[in-house]
Amino acid sequence: MSTRTGVRASRTAKPRASSTSPALSPPTEPRRRRRSPEEARTLILDAAERLFADRGPDRVSVLDVAVAAGVSHSLVLHYFKTYAELVRSVLGRRNRAVFQQVKQRLLHDMATQAPPAPDELLGLILATVAEPTHARLLAWAALSGEGQHLKMVQNRGLTRVADLVAARLAMQVDPDRAVPRERIEDALLVAIAAVHGYATGKSVYLPALGASDDQAMDRRFQRALGSMLRTFLESR
């Protein structure tokens, strides 16, 4: 019986590859830049204005505005204590833009001594007021009673417009034929009321006249009202 001498070769064990990958550190998110209060307010107002344009102020909530702006509900209420204040702020921002346009136009006329052009000034107002979003906001302010809280009302903003118109007219006429302040205020009131009424009601009034609701009709209204106001201011 032969014997086999089994010689067991020594084997060098190879190190096994690790089945686990080295731990990776979680990705770091870029730090968000902290918005200034003015930036946050503008972001919220822009979002609110877009929603008001799409739905109208009566069909939008604070939560809707927060979602659209990408901020929290509490942040909206931090800057605007109530929903009504938010709507007033959007309308107030638009009103200030109109006032600045009218002011710049009047100051330009005073610098160049150009004759006053009521219909052109009306065009500046009409371009904003007749815009559907602004018309809706004005209607909301008037019908809800919130208009009395507008800064334009509390600061008597229209008196500044009347001051500019009075100063402009004073450059154009003889001092003895100066237009009375009361007449200027009456003309301003008629102009704003007429433009507001046209803006909010033209979707009904124009079809009833068989007229088209377009820019050509807006210009016709602008010229007609401007001519009436010019005649009123020049009459004695």
Q: Domain coordinates of the chain in residue numbers?
A: 108-234
* Separation of alpha carbons 167 and 179, rounded Å: 10
Residue 168, pLDDT above cutoff 70: yes
Over the stretch 79-119, which tens digit does the pLDDT of each residue have?
A: 999 999 999 999 999 988 888 887 887 777 777 766 656 66
Residue 12, pLDDT above cutoff 60: no
Confidence of residue 127 (pLDDT cuts 50, 70, 90): confident
* Separation of alpha carbons 59 and 69, rounded Å: 17
The two three-digit tokens of residue 70, written as one number = 């990408």
Residue 68, pLDDT above cutoff 90: yes
Over the stretch 176-187, which tens digit does the pLDDT of each residue have?
A: 678 888 998 998
Q: What is the mean pLDDT of residues 193-198?
A: 88
Selection from 175, 227, 219, 221 nearest residue 198 by Cα: 221
Higher pLDDT, 45 or 234: 45
Q: What is the mean pLDDT of residues 38-42?
A: 94
Q: Which residues contact 161 (CB under 8 A, 6 or more apart)?
A: 99, 102, 103, 188
Higher pLDDT, 12 or 67: 67
